[in-house]
Amino acid sequence: MGAGHPECPERLQAIDDQLIASRISDYLQHREAPEADIAQIARVHTVNAISLVRDNVPPVGEYYPLDSDTLLNAHSWKAALRAAGAAVAATDAVIRGEVDNAFCSVRPPGHHARPSAPMGFCMFNNVAIAARHALEVHGLARVAIIDFDVHHGNGTEEAFADEPRVLMTSFFQHPFYPYTGAELAGPGHDHIVNVPVPAYTGGDVVRQLVTEKWLPALHAHQPQMLFISAGFDAHREDDMGQMGLVEADYAWITTQLMTIARLYANGRIVSCLEGGYNLSALGRSVAAHLRVLAELD
């Protein structure tokens, strides 16, 4: 998205480098991301939202602003198709039993993308597209989306606000961009479990909130598959937010989700990269997350 933008290609290189350095990479099966087709994206996004990305791709070397911090370049359309396509392909592979679980190391991220428009670095909502694919194509009756990014996943919540088959649990710094998530309540929205937390919240508080808020909701919902919006910008070294998590907290959260998945979902998890902008902290946090998913300890 241009020089100096935090959502940069170096993010994925930092993850790859850390997985190699920590000797995790050799234990993982690596797959190329296919492109999603329009029908898969259209289960979540309107025709106008799709055309905003597809029809405004600029020439090489130029940028087209979708909003003040979300820009298209000549390759953005293809990248967005592959990010969504990775999530769909991972869902297929996990449900078919080809892999135990999957992590989609993709960009652009997705959880801010609303059904009606891109926003917040996000073109299409990768996790929402994958969850809808699991429901509509594979016929699952209940799924859960767990979002631990420092920012509220407003696009995901909007996509499933009236869909009780999808339990969404999240914590996020509040008040903070996109300034949503604290207001949804009342009848019909019991499947949305938002836990807003103030700046400088640390891992001890987050673990207690996960135990008290997330886990009872997940046990009650008994999801047949788990999807994770895996943002790592709540790390204490990440300047994008002001929270205080460390690698051990991400590993602990992942362990709790693995337990839920084993109980109700035959272990099925698809995790998709969202935020995380301090390159060192991002690489270390993803490695901790994958070490648990791959059961390497």
Q: What is the dihedral of CA 81, 93, 235, 215, to 10 degrees?
A: 120
Q: How far is CA 58 from CA 74, 118, 154, 212, in A?
A: 5, 16, 27, 48
Q: What's the pLDDT score for residue 186?
A: 58
The residue assigned the tokens 């390159």 is: 279
pLDDT average, residue stretch 22-30:
96
Task: Provide the 3-class DSSP secondary structure of residue 193.
Answer: strand
Residue 273, pLDDT score:
99
Rounded Cα distance between 36 and 179, Å, is: 30
Who contacts 154 (Cβ-Cβ below 8 Å, separation ≥6)? 111, 112, 114, 120, 178, 180, 181
Cα–Cα distance, 268 to 210 (Å, whole number): 20
> Per residue in 118-154, pLDDT tens?
999 999 999 999 999 999 999 999 999 999 999 999 9
The identity of residue 204, as a single letter, is D
> Which residue carries 């935090």 as its tokens?
6
pLDDT at 227: 99
Query: pLDDT at position 110, please?
Result: 98
**For the chain, the helix, strand and coil percentages under 3-state DSSP, each to the nearest 5:** 40, 15, 45
Once rounded to an integer, what is the mean pLDDT over residues 267-291?
98
Q: Which residues are catalytic?
A: 112
The predicted-structure confidence for 197-255, as pLDDT tens digits, reads as follows 999 999 999 999 999 999 999 999 999 999 999 999 999 999 999 999 999 999 999 99
User: Which pair of structure tokens corresponds to residue 27?
Assistant: 């234990």
Distances (CA, A) of 82 to 67, 97, 191: 21, 22, 29
Q: Which residues, at least 6 apart from 215, have a Cβ–Cβ distance to it below 8 Å?
A: 256, 260
- Residue by residue, DSSP assigns 57-94 as PPPTT--EEEETTEEE-TTHHHHHHHHHHHHHHHHHHH
Residue range 162-197, pLDDT digits in tens: 999 999 999 999 999 999 998 765 567 899 999 999
Residue 182: what pLDDT? 87
Q: Which residues pair with 130 in a beta bridge?
A: none
Instruction: Tell me if 257 sits within 8 A of 226, measured CB to CB.
Output: yes
Give all domains of the chain, ordered by start, each with its CATH number: 10-293 (3.40.800.20)
pLDDT at 272: 99
Q: What pLDDT is attached to residue 297?
A: 79
Terminal CA-CA length for the chain: 37
pLDDT in tens, 43-93: 999 999 999 999 999 999 999 999 999 999 999 999 999 999 999 999 999
pTM here?
0.97
Helix or strand holding residue 145 (H, E): strand 143-147
Element (H, E) at 72: strand 70-72
